[in-house]
Chain A
Amino acid sequence: MPHLEATRWWPTVLAAVGLAVGVFVLVSAADGGSRTRAAAQAPSTFTPLATYSLAAPHVLSEVLVYSVQGVAGGPNAAPPPETKPFPASVFSRPIAAYRAYALRQLRLMEGELPLLQSALAANDRIAAKAAWRIAMSDYLRLGAVYLDGETALDAQVARLNQRIDGTPGGLPGGVADPGFTGLHRIEYGLWTSKPPSALVHIAGALDADVHRLAKVLPIAPVEPLEYATRTHEILEDAARGFLSGADVPWSQEGVLATNAGVEATEELISTLRPVLGGLERVVPAVDTEMRTLRSAIRGLAAAHGGSLPSNGQLTHRQSEMLDAALGGALEALSNVPGVLETEAPPAVPQIPKADFRTNPIDP
């Protein structure tokens, strides 16, 4: 951004402070919406929503944004410059740490699956449900094994994930489809009064699939941006799939599943902490909101005799509180992928003026 434009912008932004104190207070209270790279010296007692470092060094090298409504230079002004991207190499260590974590989780799950198998074989529904809860949590603590299958290894991971954690939604035969396997097939059997012993072979296949996954997951490729995106998408899925019950349709163990998602997210954040270290306006917000979410879930367990309640056991007030905490965490987490970019978005090429036309086929 040229010098002149930046200096024009500065007073406009300052002027916005007075106009938008209300908006500012709302937004800054949650400490959300902020992204910054450099330490900022605020010209007033207000904390800016964001600080943007300009790419070209000159007198005013930083622009502070105080208001959601603050329009700098009119509605057609160019957006603030992108923050400087990270080199992809800074993600090597976090991703390696995550892989080690994922492998530990899968080993843990392998160690616990025999409990599920023996409870099923003994036709002990109560013990089997308890063992299923443990296995489900173990798996969800991996944190979104949602690879898109672009490479052969990806495809293998995606296939195994479908076998372990797939729901019958996309299958032609629904719950009766032979392709409906794994944790949710067992969930369906246990919570719909089918004889538990009929599920033993499903649990056996699950065990084998987890074993296979443990071989490929730690070597499957993970793109830095995708890794950064997971930090909020794991809990986006929880909000949509678990607390609604859509992805745990029979057990309604949405709180348990969300709790596992929280643990997975915390693991990701902790691996990324060295990279996020300098981003003092992102990290404290994430930490605060995640702490609130964790304590909300702990509070629910305490209110339900020490174990996590199912969706249906939540009172209206408890649901609201959990939704509020999850929403707060998601808003804070949504700033993480943006600041962890490894490349600046390429400038959009413009359609040359000489080539301007309204479409002859489709005006």
Chain B
Amino acid sequence: MSPLDRRSFLTRSGLLFGAGAVGGVGALVHERNQADAAPADSTQPSAVVQWRVSRGELADRIPFSVEGHQAGILNPAPAQATFAALDSFARDQTVLREALKALSVRARELTVGGATALLETDAPPADSGILGPVNEPDALTVTIAFGASLFDGRYGLSSQRPKELVKMPTFPVDDLDPAQTHGDLLLQICAHQRDTVAHTLRELLRAVRGSFQLRWNIDGFSGAQRGPTPHNHPRNLFAFRDGTANPPTDDEGLMNELVWAGQGEPAWAEGGTYQVVRIIRQHVEFWDRVGLTEQQNMIGRVRSTGAPLGGSDEFEDPRYDLDPDGKRIPLDAHIRLANPRTAHTADQRFLRRGFNYTRGFDDTGQLDQGLVFVAFNQSPERQFATVQKRLNEEPMIDYITPVGGGYFFVPPGVRGGAEWVGSGLFPA
């Protein structure tokens, strides 16, 4: 194949564009209209077409940072998400700094939305344009986090490493695939609409091309709010409601105790949080071949209502104090091991904000579905890892396989226009 002659390509596309208006493209449009038997005047929309997306939702704007924290942590998870881990190939600290700045600035711009910049028409457009000439914010959040490897010797940042930021350890139930684990940087992109998420990832990668390269990427979604009330949590792919016992995010004091890092951290990291991501495959075919009683005993909740076993309401206290022997909720049930609800374990709780995923099927024809588990916590050692170790013995481990993810640190949010995520790492 001969190398593409850039100049003649440009010329040809110009010619084709000109010709299309007269013959080529016009002929195609004509044929399609005939095939679909469309009305002659295709500019008149049919009366029955309704908006499938609310204008209000597309206009939802979530500030890039609020009160010193990045978005995408406390605000409720919207329908769509993607997680992209990147590795840095920036030559030195200066290039790294510029790339991080470009990433943060572009991310902030996209969360605000607005008309995309127009350049000369012979230049590649500044924005891919897949959302049209105006990017509506659509509740977009971009949460930028750093992996432990960013603080190795390469960029002179080792003394700035958040004190608990390490490579995620391998837990006994794990079967981690290096190609889906760890990374120098993590982008968590969330929005109402899938195309907003896809657009954002594409634009952000473009902003840091050459400096950051994709290491792994996984798309997530939330179950729809199916009630019975808007308070009831959507379900994971084992069909159980997920997120019921989350600490309330409007309790600022509790968030200071459980989510935000501060004490003992380097000054730049105060107000940040540790983000644990676990890509947990759920063996759904196997799960569906298990009796309901066994499923419910593994989780500790009633599948339909989400109530603790023996209860009737999703938000009901499981009253472990009345069931010390596990006659109602087995002692190794997931909810009981994850959160024993004692004063002693209260500071081990963390904020979960996971998404379901489905990504085709494996070589043996089994669906590749599961959970992108996300935990925000003040101390992964005190919180996530402590809970995870308790879960090593739960019967549910036969039905899941954690295959990837990592430990990351979400820097504090930006204050004022001059700051960007991570700017505190590089004092002027």
Contact = CB atoms under 8 A, between A and B. Distances in A.
B343 A240 contact: no
A363 B315 contact: yes
Interface in A69-88: 75-76, 79
B285 interface: yes
A362 B311 contact: no
Contacts, number: 89
B128 interface: no
Interface stretch (B33-41, B68-76, B98-106, B360-368): B360-368
Interface in A294-314: 311
Contacts of A239: 285, 364, 366
Interface string A163-181: 0000001100000000000
A361 interface: yes
Contact of B322 (A236, A240, A355, A358): A355
A358 B365 CA distance: 43
B319 A323 contact: no
Contacts of A356: 311, 313, 316-317
Contacts of A183: none
A334 B289 contact: yes
Contacts of A240: 283, 286, 364, 366
Contacts of A320: 365
B366 A348 contact: no
Q: Which of A170, A243, A356, A359 gathers most chain B CB within 10 Å?
A: A359
Contacts of A76: 304
B293 A351 contact: no
Given A351-B308, A351-B310, A330 B289 contact: yes
B239 interface: no
B248 interface: yes
Interface residues of B, number: 39
Nearest to B283: A240
A75 B366 CA distance: 30
A90 B297 CA distance: 26
A327 B248 CA distance: 42
A159 to B, nearest CB: 18
B250 to A, nearest CB: 11
B365 A323 contact: yes
A260 to B, nearest CB: 17
Interface in A326-363: 327, 330-331, 334, 337-338, 345-346, 348-351, 355-363
B311 A351 contact: yes
A56 interface: no
Contacts of A346: 327
A143 B15 CA distance: 70
B310 A362 contact: no
A357 B289 CA distance: 34
B315 A79 contact: no
Interface string B255-299: 000000000000000000000000000010110011111000000
A358 B316 contact: yes
A288 interface: no
Interface of B: 172, 175, 245, 247-248, 283, 285-286, 289-293, 304, 308-311, 313, 315-319, 322-323, 327-328, 339, 341-343, 346, 349, 362-366
Given A355-B322, A361-B346, 18 more contacts: A169-B175, A232-B289, A239-B285, A239-B366, A243-B363, A244-B362, A244-B363, A311-B363, A348-B310, A350-B310, A350-B311, A351-B311, A355-B319, A356-B313, A359-B318, A359-B341, A361-B342, A362-B349
21 contacts: A79-B292, A239-B285, A239-B364, A240-B283, A240-B366, A245-B363, A319-B365, A327-B365, A330-B285, A331-B289, A338-B291, A349-B323, A351-B308, A351-B316, A351-B319, A351-B322, A355-B319, A355-B322, A359-B341, A360-B317, A361-B341
